[in-house]
Amino acid sequence: MDSKTPVENLYSVEPALNSSSRRSNFSIPSKASGGNSIREVNFSDLGSKPVRYGSRGADSDTYSTSQKEINDEDARLVHINDPVKTNERFEFAGNSIQTGKYSILTFLPRNLFEQFHRVAYTYFLVIVVLNQLPQLAVFSREASFMPLTFVLLVTAVKDAYEDFRRHRSDRIENNTLASVLVNDQFQQKKWKNIQVGEIIKIQANETIPCDMVLLSTSDPTGVAYVQTINLDGESNLKTRYAKQETLLKIPEKEKVTGLIKCEKPNRNIYGFQANMEVDGKRLSLGPSNIILRGCELKITAWAVGVAVYAGRETKAMLNSSGAPSKRSRLETHMNFEIIFLSLFLIALCTVVSVCAAVWLRRHRDKLDYLPFYRRKHFSGGEEDNYNYYGWGLEIFFTFLMSVIVFQTMIPISLYISMELVRVGQAYFMIGDTQMYDESSQSRFQCRALNINEDLGQIKYVFSDKTGTLTENKMEFQCASIWGKDYSGGKAMSQDQEDGYFVQVDGKVLRPKMKVKTDPELLQFARSGKEMKECGHIHDFFLALAACNTIVPLILDTPDPTVKLIDYQGESPDEQALVYAAAAYGFMLIERTSGHIVIGIQGERQRFSVLGLHEFDSDRKRMSVILGFPDKSVKVFVKGADTSMFSVIDRSLKINVIHTTETHLYSYSSLGLRTLVVGMKELSTSEFEDWHSAYEAASAALMGRTTLLRKVANNIENNLYLLGASGIEDKLQQGVPEAIESLRTAGIKVWVLTGDKQETAISIGYSSKLLTSKMTPIIINSNSKESCRKSLEDAIIMCKKFTTISGTTNNTGRTSRAGLTPVALIIDGTSLVYILDSELEERLFQLSCNCSVVLCCRVAPLQKAGIVALVKNRTLDMTLAIGDGANDVSMIQMADVGVGISGQEGRQAVMASDFAMGQFRFLVPLLLVHGHWNYQRMGYMILYNFYRNAVFVLVSFWYVLFTCFTLTTAISEWSGVLYSVIYTSVPTIVVAVLDKDLSRRTLLKYPQLYGAGHKQECYNKKLFWITMIDAFWQSAVTFFIPLLAYWGSTIDASSIGDLWTLAVVILVNLHLAMDVIRWNWITHAAIWGSIIATFICVIIIDAIPSLIGYWAIFEIAKTRLFWLCLLAIIVAALIPRFVVKVLYQLYTPCDVQIAREAEKFQTQIESGAVEIEMNPILDPPRS
Amino acid sequence: MSSNTPSSSAGGVGSADAAAPRRNSKRPKYSKFTQQELPACKPILTPRWVISAFLLVSIVFIPIGVVSLFASRDVVEIIDRYETACVPQNFSNDKVSFIQSAVDKTCNRTLTVKKLMKQPIYVYYQLDNFYQNHRRYVKSRSDSQLKDNSSWNDVSSCKPEDMSNDQPIVPCGLIAWSLFNDTYNFSLNNQQLAVNKKDISWKSDRDKKFGKDVFPKNFQNGTLIGGNRLDPSVPLSEQEDLIVWMRTAALPTFRKLYGKIERDLQPNEVIQVTLLNNYNTYSFNGKKKLVLSTTSWLGGKNDFLGIAYLTVGGLCFFLALSFTVVYLVKPRQLGDPSYLSWNRNPAGH
């Protein structure tokens, strides 16, 4: 209101505004990296600068504005309010979006093109094409096309449906209306017609149609609040600013013209750089001046902006891409076997073609007249060779034909089945009520669909601390003010009447969250600033209320006289501090860029914000310069203890500083996050100096961030220590138990945190990551040499512990459990010297011997470095779990990335493969679902290999009895349907539904997870056993009918039907033999498939035009047929059954015993057994 | 906290009610299916189970084996291999030129009945080393032509026997062209022994595959005569020899039904066979046999299945025994947690 009346004030608001715009232009990238430094690293340490994660941080911002002016050729020129001129070369996209991939015309070619990107489909296609050559036509045209068409059709229908939905949502979005300035008045225009350069007006709660630079808003200072939930999932409000120069222009009345020169469209939603020339002035624009498509305007009544990027060039559209794809370990292993199978296929084909070559050579004189060969063709009068291309070519053709006939040796259908199975598994994981988080109402999410089975083989878990192990719900716990510790607020007393409130215009304002208060401190805080002690307390809370970037929102309640204040901000620490200040009577009520209103003990006071130096990772502190109503100017600073104590005036009250340091130490050993608060009063000259420097720096076009940092550093010194605060970050529910379970399961849990060492260790103890039995080894080094030395010492020490305890315990019961477990605690500074140097190897050695590794004060990129350290040196699977943007790199680096969808933004979730609400869900995810998925997928792959091999081998045996000429007795339609109808459903159903053990057992004995570590369900040995079994079964299937029908009147179609049915029943019974849990769906799938096969065979044999007409009826009449069938099935399955029985009864694996225990538990469940089982749960196995 | 803001801001303090349905909608629905807890049967291979399974198999298989073996033994077969014997001495070195020459191919054979043969006695011819399942061969036919008079010129698949003298051949293709053309005449005590050649083919073939209005045309008119000629006045559906021949055999040694003798043959009866040895198997060293055989409930004479059943049954019996022994000697309590690896390892070290 009157912020602009004093003339000099007008000018002082500008830099303030500018700086706060700068601030948030920082704090938004901070979500990506720096911001977590606000909360995760807690003003403490982010490691050295070069190892910062990503390029989106403040540095890049600095970089861009300071060093890089936008080149003309890299720039996009936008003439404000002149779309025609702007886009005169028609190079900018319109605002209509098309997320749909296909149009009706392009659907077929594009979809086919995309589908054939998969190798498997191309293989299919090549085989089909080969089959179309007349020389090679093994199958009829229809039959050869069918499998490929089927698969393509299914995928195409799926794609078409998805695309249809996209088109529909596109249409809705494109036809939404927005008001656009046309001929000096705002008119409704469809979104799709908006063009770059046009001026658009957005009303409150409207979605923004394209990326626009703000010109003016309803707020006199040019602030606009936007919610970016559609963009990055963060629900808190972000502030955006219109430039002062354009703020007062009203587009309807005066023509706004100008030129915006901005960078080319890119996908960085946290960065934007541009210049705007208005009225001859050149202004620089940053990310805080742009509002992006998909965001919603909140609180602000209206905002006017000019479109700079539209349609597909908006940042939101450029960012809409799927999760990164990873390939599962099992699939990688499987591909080796696939290569082997290809070799085997080639071997089979070679055998056939060599035999054919020998046969042709031996009969070369007779070929012309052999009644079943008849090389000569006489019909045309002259004699010529019919369908014969010479010996060599015939062999070559035989080879190709055998590839066509034996093509299913490579189980192409396996890839499709695996996709289906993973969808099914994901369905059950998502639907698991035990992985549903009540508090955040979030379900489990499966973002990557191709690594489900990897969850069963995880060996290392890398966990973030804040927000992952802890709730990231900050709670103000205690404060040390002027050397006095106030940590009494244990119980919230009833007489507090819902905490503190302020009355304004007859309305009661109340903070939304209540905070436990210390009664003594509350007393002091209320008693005014008369006493000296109370003066410090006053300043302390004023600092907490003022020195932050929190935006208070006034919310209505059902009671019209009561309003709630909700503090919106990006840092949970700041929120906690502001709520705490409010509880002690310093309530932040209003914040604009120029002033703040704080209700101090019920009295509204207005302070002008003269300047704000935002947090950055170098200074690790922030400061605000407040102009008091009594014209005095004070600077309030808060920051990490290390950075604060260096700028505190040590000459003052040295004992206060000492006690504060002691308090800080005790706070952090309680696991609290600490912040130190200081202030100083500025004299007029000091203020003048600062002000001019600040103004100059803010107005600078080049290197503004660096200049501002310099200004901040100048003012933030010789501070007067006020005190320190301790904020508790509560441990999530069930974390200690979860860590315990994971460790028992043989999974190593590493915690990587940005927190201080003391905090990290104390959290380590409270989460049972560290136990009193463990010997901690701590490495804090400041140089490479000392790093090397401490690593070597640590390795020796580690060896000593393990061997000594090993020998002493020789008499004892255990060897591994008896070792003194060693915990390694290492900090980020040491890691700087270790990672990417030859010391890595030693660190790896050391950490392998340690049961726990705890890394503190690590920068985001270091987290990824540590994951890489393990991932690159072992074959073990790694999993990274985290919630913040700082965990993104680690999540992407690990084999499996899990995001916690919690307090912080959704970047971790966006980058993750799986997302869930709580850390403890990791236990059911890994121990239960991971175990199941791994077992199921492993079995399914082996079974698919077997299934196809049996079928191919039966065909192969037959070829040996047909002069090696690739005749198939099994009708070609049965061959096609074999993997589509006859045998596909049971394997998918079993792979989705079968459970080797119940959830209860798996959670009770986490050690059972070791099955995945030992690769029990899929390994080379199993593969070979399976293939030998397939060989035996195919031989039995083929030779029993062969010998039984040798020299009889049997015709090819009839015996082919016998083979078809025998193989199908055999493979289905083989599966049935391995099914562990029979529920009705399994029954239906297996028996249904056998029945379906009979029906299909009957249908095929009821078609008169096919060669096998009525064969099944003729052969089914004979008893020999049924006896053959029975003999085949029993004889084929006996070896497998015997091996299985021997294995299960005499060398049972843990899973087997647990399964038996599960079944017979009811009988033997007695106290004695239970007691005997208890030691199992003893954790240390490391 | 901040993530709750949208919902709680709407209702303020009283937002608990508003949040409840929302929570319900997001929470995964509980059902036995979605929680993967469908009632299920979990069979476990207990020793008792295993032993009884093996015993059951042997109890079923051994009797079947015995019965099949007996059935096979009951079948009386007279097999007469004649392709060498029916070549005159002077052609014995060049049988192919004999068969291609115009010499009289008549040949007389004498068969003695060893055991009582009950009617019906099936007369087969058996060919060896004849690959009726050869790819070129099986593909060389036209089912549409056989079925339907109107598609008489559909001979594209019949190469190299598709056209003769620029006219389509009916029935076309190598299979029909190579139709077996030896003939047998049986006489017992100088009396003609009737061979019934009716209903030797599948009824389904006669009804549906071979048309009643399709007559042989231009058949065996080419340069190279492959086998039997067909009477152009008899429709294909009644050419039973052709129909039998065209059900191509699965294996290179096969029999084809020639006819049925519908009277009992007493032991020591002597049957005179006058045969015309027309069919050329000499070019590929194929054997030709004449077979007279009775049938059992299991079909022809083949001991294999009986032996196979006895073997499998015996093996299972043996397995059952050995599992019993092993089970008695070294039992393991099922589900005993002390066998779990992490309980066992300490003792092992």
The distance of Cα A682 from the centroid of its chain, to the nearest Å, equals 48
Look at residue B160 in the predicted model and tell me its pLDDT: 80
Cβ contact A1067:A983 at 8 Å = yes
Chain A residues whose CB is inside 8 A of the B224 CB are 369, 376, 378
Distance between CA A554 and CA A512 in Å, rounded?
9
Q: Which of B294, B311, B344 is the last residue of a domain?
A: B294
**The three-state (H, E, C) secondary structure of A1057-1101, written as one string:** HHHHHHHHHHHHHHHHHHCCCECHHHHHHHHHHHHHHHHHHHHHC
In the block, which residue shows the tokens 């698919």?
A: A944
For A279-314, give one letter per residue: b (16+ CB within 10 A) or e.
eeeebbbbbbbbbbbbbbbbbbebbbbbbbbbbbbb
Counting DSSP H helices and E strands in chain B, the numbers are: 11, 10
% of chain A exceeding 70 in pLDDT: 85
Q: Which residue of A has its CA nearest to B307?
A: A1044
The answer to whether the bond into A371 is cis (omega within 30° of 0) is no
Query: For residue A414, is it within any domain?
Result: no
Distance, in Å, from the CA atom of B320 to the CA atom of B326, rounded to the nearest integer, reads 10
pLDDT band at residue B325 using 50, 70 and 90 as cut-offs: very high
Q: Does one domain contain both A532 and A617?
A: yes
- List Cβ neighbours of A538 (8 Å cut-off, separation of 6 or more): A525, A528, A529, A600
Distances (CA, A) of A694 to A17, A763, B323: 12, 41, 91
On whether both B59 and B166 belong to a single domain, the answer is no
d(CA A41, CA A616): 12
Question: Are A884 and A859 a contacting pair, CB within 8 Å?
Answer: no
Range of weakest confidence among A329-343, A478-492, A860-874, A885-899: A478-492
Higher pLDDT, A223 or A1106: A1106
Do A681 and A826 belong to one domain? Answer: no
Residues of chain B contacting A1114 with CB distance shorter than 8 Å: 202, 204
Considering only residues 37 to 76 of chain A, which have any Cβ-Cβ distance to chain B shorter than 8 Å?
Answer: none
Tokens encoding A373: 């060969």
Mean per-residue pLDDT, B245-256: 94
Taking CA–CA distances from A905, the nearest residue in chain B reads: B3
Instruction: Find how far residue A155's CA is from the centre of its chain.
Output: 25
Structure tokens at A315: 């940042």
The whole-number pLDDT of residue A503 equals 65
How many CA atoms are closer than 13 Å to the CA of A927, on its beta-carbon side?
28
Nearest CA-CA partner of A1068 in A965, A947, A976: A947
Which amino acids of A are annotated as binding site for ATP, given as ranges? 464-466, 574, 615, 638, 673, 753-755, 857, 863, 886-887
Average the pLDDT over B48-54 and give the result. Answer: 93
* Residue of higher predicted confidence among A550 and A1134: A1134
Long-range contacts of A83-91 (CB under 8 A, 24+ apart): A83/A195, A83/A196, A83/A197, A83/A198, A84/A197, A85/A197, A86/A195, A86/A196, A86/A197, A87/A195, A87/A196, A87/A197
Phi first, then psi, for residue A788 (nearest 5°) are -60, -45
pLDDT recorded at residue A449: 79
What pLDDT, on the 0 to 100 scale, is given for residue A701?
60
Q: What is the pLDDT of residues A493-526, one digit of tens each?
A: 444 444 566 666 666 777 777 777 777 777 777 7
- Listing DSSP states for B162-219 in one string gives SEETTEE-BS-SHHHHT----EEEEEETTEEE--B-TT-S-HHIIIIIS-TT---BST
Last residue of a domain, one of B245, B266, B294: B294
Rounded to whole angstroms, what are the CA distances from A1149 to A346, A1164, B330? Answer: 36, 20, 17
Say whether pLDDT at A1174 is over 60: no
Confidence of residue A48 (pLDDT cuts 50, 70, 90): very low
Residue B8 domain flag? no
Residue A1035 lies in domain: 932-1164
Do B182 and B279 lie in a common domain?
yes
User: How many whole angstroms separate alpha carbon A1123 and alpha carbon A1119?
Assistant: 6
Token pair 């005159």 is found at B88
The C-alpha atoms of residue A832 and residue A835 are separated, in whole angstroms, by 6
Burial class from Cβ neighbours inside 10 Å (0-12, 13-18, 19+) for residue A190 reads middle
Residue A18, SS3 per DSSP? helix
Asked if pLDDT for residue B1 goes beyond 70, the answer is no
* Poorest-pLDDT segment among A357-371, A1075-1089, A1156-1170, B48-62: A1156-1170
User: What CA–CA distances, in Å, run from B21 to A464, A916, B26?
Assistant: 33, 21, 9
Residues B168 and B56 in one domain: no
**DSSP 8-state class, residue A536:** H
The amino acid occupying position A692 is S
Taking the Cβ of residue A514 and every Cβ of chain B, the question of whether any pair is shorter than 8 Å is answered with no
| Last-in-domain residue among A696, A729, A762 | A729
Residues B81 and B59 in one domain: no
Residue at B23 is within a domain: no
My answer on whether A833 and A975 are in the same domain is no
Q: Indicate whether B307 pLDDT > 90.
A: yes
pLDDT bracket for residue A438 (50, 70, 90):
confident
- pLDDT of A381 reads 55
Residue A65 lies in a domain: no
CB contact, 8 Å: A807 with chain B? Answer: no
State the binding site of A. 464-466, 574, 615, 638, 673, 753-755, 857, 863, 883, 886-887
Q: Is residue B347 part of a domain?
A: no
Residues A993 and A1132 reside in one and the same domain: yes
Spatial distance between the Cα atoms of A950 and A958, rounded to a whole number of angstroms: 13
In this predicted model, what pLDDT tens digit does every residue of A579-590 receive, in sequence order?
888 888 888 888
ipTM higher than 0.90? yes
Q: What is the DSSP letter of B222?
A: S
Give the pLDDT mean for A27-32.
34
Question: B110 with B251, same domain?
Answer: yes
Provide, as residue numbers in chain A, all residues whose Cβ is less than 8 Å from the Cβ of B163: 379-380
Residues B279 and B316 in one domain: no
What's the mean pLDDT in A254-280? 78
Which phi and psi angles does A810 have, rounded to 5°? -55, -40
Taking residues A594-613, what's their average pLDDT? 83
Looking at the structure, tell me whether residues B177 and B253 fall in a common domain: yes
Examine residue B340 and state whether it is found in any structural domain, yes or no.
Answer: no
For residues B48 and B96, membership in a common domain is answered with no
Q: What is the CATH number of the domain that holds A580?
A: 3.40.1110.10
| Percent of chain B surpassing pLDDT 70 | 91
Tell me how close the Cα of A90 comes to any Cα of chain B, in angstroms.
Answer: 41
CB–CB contact A575 B280 (8 Å): no
- Reported as a pLDDT band with limits 50, 70 and 90, residue B337 is confident
Could you tell me if A750 and A865 lie in one domain?
yes
Question: What 3-state DSSP class applies to A903?
Answer: coil
Q: Is residue A525 part of a domain?
A: yes
Mean pLDDT score, A1112-1127: 94
Indicate the number of domains in chain B: 2
- Any chain B CB within 8 A of the CB of A993? yes
- pLDDT, residue A24, reads 35
* B287 touching chain A per CB within 8 A: no
Q: Does residue A1169 surpass a pLDDT of 60?
A: no
Judge if A718 and A756 occupy the same domain.
no
- Average pLDDT over every residue of A1118-1146: 93
A880, A898 in Cβ contact below 8 A? yes
Task: Enter the tokens of residue B231.
Answer: 């009477």
Contact A564 B13 (CB under 8 A): yes
Instruction: Identify whether residues A955 and A907 lie together within a single domain.
Output: no
How high is the pLDDT of residue A29?
34
> So what's the pLDDT on residue A297?
86
Q: Which residues of A are catalytic?
A: 464
The whole-angstrom separation of Cα A1070 and Cα B296 is 33
Q: Is A646 helix (H, G, I), strand (E, B) or coil?
A: coil
- Answer yes or no: is pLDDT of A61 > 50: no
Closest CA to A746 of A1016, A371, A1011, A468: A1011
**Are residues A27 and A549 in contact, defined by beta-carbon separation less than 8 angstroms?**
yes
pLDDT at B233: 92
Q: What is the CATH number of the domain that holds A257?
A: 2.70.150.10
**Are residues B31 and A931 in contact, defined by beta-carbon separation less than 8 angstroms?**
no
Q: How does residue A1033 score in pLDDT terms, banded at 50, 70 and 90?
A: very high
CB B216 within 8 Å of CB B282:
no
Q: Is residue A575 included in any domain, yes or no? A: yes
Q: Provide the mean pLDDT of chain B.
A: 85
Domain-terminating residue out of A671, A694, A729: A729
Q: Do B42 and A1051 touch (CB under 8 A)?
A: no
Residue A1 lies in a domain: no
| B90 and B59 fall within a common domain | no
How far, CA to CA in Å, does B8 sit from each of A555, A558, A903, B22? 10, 12, 15, 12
| Domain-located, residue B287 | yes
User: B232 and B143, same structural domain?
Assistant: yes
Q: How far is the C-alpha of A1013 from the C-alpha of A456, rounded, in Å?
A: 8
User: Mean of the pLDDT values across residues A762-790?
Assistant: 84
Range of the domain at B285: 76-294
Supply the mean pLDDT for chain A: 80
Determine contact, residues A289/A241, Cβ cutoff 8 Å: yes
Q: What is the pLDDT of residue A16?
A: 35
CB contact under 8 A, A433 and B44: no
Most confident of A5-14, A155-164, B101-110: B101-110
A246, pLDDT greater than 60: yes
Q: Is B122 exposed, middle or buried (0-12, 13-18, 19+ CB in 10 A)?
A: buried
Q: Which of A963, A965, A993 sits opposite B36 (nearest CB)?
A: A993
Q: How is A472-506 classified by DSSP, letter by letter?
A: EEEEEEEEEETTEEE----S--GGGSSS--EEETT
Residue A954 and residue A1034 in contact, taking contact as beta carbons nearer than 8 Å: yes
**Looking at the structure, do residues A836 and A872 belong to the same domain, yes or no?**
yes
Model pLDDT for residues A818-872, shown as the tens digit of each residue: 467 888 898 888 888 888 788 888 888 888 888 889 998 887 778 888 898 898 8
Residue A1128 C-beta-side C-alpha neighbours within 13 Å? 31
Q: Is the pLDDT of residue A52 over 90?
A: no
Number of domains present in the structure of chain A: 4
Total CB pairs under 8 A between chain A and B: 331
Same domain for A779 and A700: no
Rounded to whole angstroms, how far apart are CA atoms A380 and A184? 88
- With respect to residue B208, please indicate whether it lies within any of the assigned structural domains: yes
Residue B65 lies in a domain: yes
Contact A299, A251 (CB under 8 A): no
Tell me, yes or no, whether B157 lies in a domain.
Answer: yes
The H-assigned helical ranges of A960-1079 are: 972-977, 984-993, 999-1004, 1010-1013, 1020-1044, 1052-1074
A1045 near A955, Cβ under 8 Å? no
- DSSP assignment, residue A920? G
Q: Above 60 in pLDDT, residue B5? A: no
Higher pLDDT, B61 or A56: B61
Helix or strand or coil: residue A819? coil
For residue A172 the two structure tokens come to 């809705």
Q: How many Cβ atoms are within 10 Å of B110's Cβ, its own excluded?
A: 9
Q: What is the mean pLDDT of residues A1000-1021?
A: 90
- Which residue, of A873, A892, A917, is where some domain finishes? A917
**Do A610 and A724 belong to one domain?**
yes
Q: Give me the pLDDT at residue A121, please.
A: 78
B155 and B51 inside one domain: no
Q: What is the pLDDT of residues A178-198, one digit of tens each?
A: 888 887 788 888 888 888 888
Q: Beta partners for A1005?
A: none
- Cα–Cα distance list, A114 to A325, A723, A1180, B285 (Å): 16, 63, 51, 56
User: Residue A584 to residues A336, A508, A575: CA-CA distances in angstroms?
Assistant: 67, 16, 14
Tell me, yes or no, whether A1156 lies in a domain: yes
The torsion angle over the Cα atoms of residues A16, A20, A25 and A30, rounded to 10 degrees, is 140
State the average pLDDT over residues A353-367.
Answer: 90
- A430, A444 Cβ separation under 8 angstroms: yes
Each residue's pLDDT tens digit, A897-926: 998 876 555 667 877 889 888 899 999 999
Residue B273 sits in the same domain as residue B327: no
Kindly state the greatest CA–CA separation across chain B.
118
Answer yes or no: are the C-beta atoms of A525 and A560 closer than 8 Å. Answer: no
User: Is A1140 at the interface with chain B, CB within 8 A?
Assistant: yes
For residues A1002 and A1119, membership in a common domain is answered with yes
Same domain, A888 and A995: no
- Residue range A795-806, pLDDT digits in tens: 888 887 766 544
